[in-house]
Amino acid sequence: MTQTDATPWSAVVLGGGDPGDPFAAAHGVKVKPLIPVAGEPMALHVLRALRGSGRVGRVAYVGPTTPELDDLIDERVTDHGTLLSNLEAGVDALRAAGLQPGERVLVVTADVPLLRASEVRSVLDDAPAGAGLVYPVVRREVCEAAYPGVKRTYARLRDGTFTGGNLFLLDPALIGQFLPRLREVLAARKAPLKLAGLIGPGVLLRLVTGRLSVAALEAKVSALLGVPARALITPHAAVGTDVDKDADLTLAEAQLTGRPGVPGSAGI
């Protein structure tokens, strides 16, 4: 499966959230993606990055919106309450709007306001062909060089120490195959014995001790989900930097207000 510049991507932006989220409430909005960053909702920075990339032709947005967001959205989708339900609803909306044969979908959370259009373009252009699921990851040293003092969750692998990205790419034709299994894995993430049973105790031990390679992890995830899965090591720290606390918000404000054209600039 290949995708060229002539075949624009479609995107699902996950902008839902818990209406009772204290972080959102403290900033006077319903859900986190509507929190202002550099004077505008953080989701607006994400949408501008997608549109500015020159690669995204259609956007489905899941969650509450504002008029300024609506101008950049093609398909508005009601928040279904959970991450995977929102993902499925967003892909269904794109499918109903008419996905092209062989087209893959970019899924991005609406809480990564530091994401630039050039970085979206880079990730999409670098995505390996033939994978049903592509998950960008960022090296720890890249994040810490770009944003000194930033606090992220990292996993130590044999190839390095990584944080997960806040976007991923998928083949919508395969979503029915891997979503049920992914729900099972997520449900087991806080039950070590059940999780070990799903991924295998040997794999879990190598992961915990930092002896698991990226290639081995790809193979295990592919087998677990039943679709070819690939990691994409990206040099873009913003891909792995979301906003979920006040310290992150301060970082995003400082970064965005230092850019030419901000408020509202997503960079090119």
Q: Does domain 9-257 have CATH number 3.40.1280.10?
A: no
Q: How far is the C-alpha of 104 from the C-alpha of 91, rounded, in Å?
A: 10
pLDDT over 50 at 262, yes or no: no
Least confident of 80-84, 217-221, 222-226, 264-268: 264-268
The model's pLDDT over 100-126, given as tens digits with 9 standing for 90+, comes to 888 899 999 999 999 999 999 999 999
Stretch 217-239: mean pLDDT, rounded? 94
Contact, 262 vs 256, CB < 8 A?
yes
Question: Which two structure tokens, joined as six digits, stand for 91?
Answer: 């892909």
Which sequence spans correspond to the domains of the chain? 9-257
- For 129, what's the count of Cα atoms within 13 Å in the CB-facing half-sphere? 6
pLDDT over 50 at 18, yes or no: yes
The model's pLDDT over 22-45, given as tens digits with 9 standing for 90+, comes to 999 999 999 999 999 999 999 999
